[in-house]
Structure 1
């Protein structure tokens, strides 16, 4: 019996699906969490104390701390009070609170958003290529003459139309 392309595609689809099950779950969970990144959903307050260069100006302090939404509330000769914390100009000590996700979710969302300059960016590329393979190989799951395949084509058209609608609305 000769092995067809369809058979190889089904086998690859099946075993890559099993292999990437954990990775797919991680990307699904972190994707859901990232939808709420502009809220405090699942975040805990964490206290920070950093020793910085003494005598920083308010602008430099914001850049040094790399805090989103940094805003100076009050400044005098000795202290800079900013949203969520303060900075002592003479000692260089910045004390502030921030909201962070629990460790595992934080690691997952950082991996999900990896850039090409980060060490694990290749995982995002590999996973993206794998998802494209799953899309293509799905069309080899059933013979084109079957009703399941024909219905699948209608669902595919519906999904593509929904995607286009979401992109352009």
Structure 2
């Protein structure tokens, strides 16, 4: 009895299917964090967190920049108190009140996962996920034989997706 060889396209379908099931959770996290990141320049879902820090007295606006970050521009000064966009600083006492808008803990962690770079151990997960998504892209073209109507229709959708992406990139 001769053993029949499984077609390559069938093997790709199996890998595609089980890799899809395996990555369903991480795809959910990336999708949700990607949607939330669209609103990162707004206060959507964020709450105000106020912290007080004891700093050295008589710091200049330049010295305050690393502490207040983007809100380090002095708006006004009343006596020894400098009022900044996201807090205030008392030049006499050195006490700084910093206001920061933060996402809830879980959403903040999801956003950090989405933005991980080589200085974070999470970047291995990002690379794995990116490679897996590339596999999904290319394996989709081996799911069906090129002679099948569903493959031809799928090619129209693929071209449409590429064109839509190119158009959106230049808007």
CA distance in 2, matches of 1:6, 1:47: 57
CA distance in 2, matches of 1:44, 1:26: 21
Shift of 1:80: 1.7
Counterpart secondary structure, 2:127: helix
Aligned to 2:54: 51
Shift of 1:102: 0.8
Aligned to 2:109: 107
1:50-129 matched pairs, under 5 angstroms: 50-66=53-69, 68-75=70-77, 78-129=80-131
Counterpart secondary structure, 2:43: coil
**Structure 1 runs of 4+ with >6 Å offset:** none
Aligned to 1:164: 166
Counterpart secondary structure, 1:20: helix
Whether the 8 Å CA contact 2:47–2:102 is kept in 1: the answer is: yes
Q: With the length of structure 1 as denominator, give the TM-score of the two structures.
A: 0.91
Aligned to 1:143: 145
Shift of 1:77: 5.8
Note the residue ranges of structure 2 that are not aligned, 5 or more in a row: none
CA distance in 2, matches of 1:46, 1:103: 12
CA distance in 2, matches of 1:133, 1:101: 32
CA distance in 1, matches of 2:59, 2:71: 18
CA distance in 1, matches of 2:142, 2:113: 31
Q: With the length of structure 2 as denominator, give the TM-score of the two structures.
A: 0.90
| Equivalenced residues, count | 168
CA distance in 2, matches of 1:122, 1:50: 35
Moved more, 120-129 or 22-31: 120-129
User: In angstroms, what is the RMSD of aligned CA positions?
Assistant: 1.6
Note the residue ranges of structure 1 that are not aligned, 5 or more in a row: none
Distance 1:18 1:53, change over 3 A: farther
CA distance in 2, matches of 1:73, 1:130: 48
CA distance in 2, matches of 1:11, 1:50: 56
Shift of 1:96: 2.3
